[in-house]
Amino acid sequence: YGDPMDPIGDLREVWKTSCLLKKGGIFYLGLPRGADTVVFNLHRLYGPARLAMIMAGFEHLATFRDDSPEPAALNRTHFRQNIRDPAFQDLFVLRKL
């Protein structure tokens, strides 16, 4: 796209979005989950380390996956999986602290 490389661009954009939210505001964030990975110049997979960084300043309320109406309970095994399709995303429901 011609943009300069920005390894923390995702973190910066979430931080900028949080500036628009009032304290207690709800933020829905869809991210591909797996082992922490940066696929050079394409996308990222979010594991425990990167999720902790991107969710800083928010309280995690729930995670939804697939088409289940019930929140998912994530555990360590979910983050060991590498999802081949980055279109597979979990929906994280966050509240600004």
Instruction: For residue range 15-61, list pLDDT tens digits in order.
Output: 999 999 999 999 999 998 888 888 777 788 888 899 999 999 999 99
CA-based radius of gyration for the chain? 14
How far is it, in rounded angstroms, from Cα 34 to Cα 3? 26
12, 72, 4: which is closest to 88 by C-alpha? 72
Q: Where are the domains of the chain?
A: 9-96
What is the average pLDDT across 8-14?
A: 92
Q: Could you tell me what percent of the chain has a pLDDT over 90?
A: 46
Q: How confident is the model at residue 4 (pLDDT cuts 50, 70, 90)?
A: confident
Contact 80, 35 (CB under 8 A): yes
pLDDT at 22: 97
Question: pLDDT band for position 79 (50/70/90)?
Answer: low
Average pLDDT value over all residues in the chain: 85
